[in-house]
Amino acid sequence: MPSGGRVRAFPDLDEPLRDGLVTVRVASEYDIPEVLIAYQDDRELHLRMGEPRPPSGAELGRLAERAAADRAAGRGITLTIVGSGSGSGSGSGSDACAGQVNVHQVDWDNARVELGIWVAPRKRGRGLARAALRLVGTWLLRDLGFERVQLLTETDNLPLIRAAEAAGFRREGVLRGFTRQQGARVDAVVMSLVLRDLTG
């Protein structure tokens, strides 16, 4: 992994990540309508994602405009979960956004990164989160040279905890009072995936 301040970039993923269940591609501005619908359908989604309120279309547009620069600078990358279709970026049909994986808290010097993930309410219960976490985690560890991929979520977010465990993430413990939600301190479960987990 890079040291001495040399920055690594996230690739554009000309070939999306695929398994038999999902395709994961770089997020696009075409995903914005589906993202807005997901936040409307799940009124607590913004809290799960650590946001003070649901994003507006304009805010999502600004994020999309700077996404390429963020990838090139190695600051992070947002990936869109779709069905097992082509992943062409058309934003329709089998390529429509069913959720997203946000790669953030990037620490190139220490070879670690954090994931945030959501799946649209109407797409839940199909194993998409498990498959996407496994695909993205494996990509980060094997292809980009990270040595630790971690995920934090609330202790009551049992569907995500189960999905992460099914994807190979291991539960490490609980950070007490880690985040603030609606004026209250909330505990967070820490889960991680390291390279040896992929072969163990």
pLDDT of residue 192: 98
DSSP 8-class letter at 16: -
**pLDDT at position 123, please?**
93
Residue 124 located in a structural domain: yes
Q: 9-40, pLDDT tens digit by residue?
A: 999 888 999 998 899 999 999 999 999 999 99
Confidence of residue 91 (pLDDT cuts 50, 70, 90): very low
3-state secondary structure of 26: strand
Residue 87 has pLDDT above 50, yes or no: no
Residue 144 scores a pLDDT above 60: yes
% of the chain with per-residue pLDDT over 70: 90
Asked if the model's pLDDT at residue 185 lies above 50, the reply is yes
Residue 81 lies in a domain: yes
How many domains does the chain divide into?
1
Angle at 109 between CA 47 and CA 81, to 5 degrees: 40
In a domain, 95, yes or no: yes
Q: To the nearest 5 percent, what fractions of the chain are helix, strand and coil?
A: 35, 30, 35
Mean pLDDT, range 97-114, rounded to an integer: 96
Report d(CA 161, CA 176) in Å as an integer: 17
Tell me whether strands 77-82 and 23-26 are parallel, antiparallel or unpaired: antiparallel
Residue 113 pLDDT more than 90? Answer: yes
Give the tens place of pLDDT for each residue, 45-76.
Answer: 998 888 889 999 999 999 999 999 999 999 99
At residue 13, the pLDDT reads: 86
Closest CA to 129 of 158, 151, 100: 100
In a domain, 37, yes or no: yes
**For the whole model, what pTM was predicted?**
0.89
CATH number at residue 31: 3.40.630.30
Domain range enclosing 28: 17-147
Residue 11, in any domain of the structure: no
Q: Answer whether residue 194 is part of any domain.
A: no
In a domain, 162, yes or no: no
Would residue 79 count as lying in a domain? yes
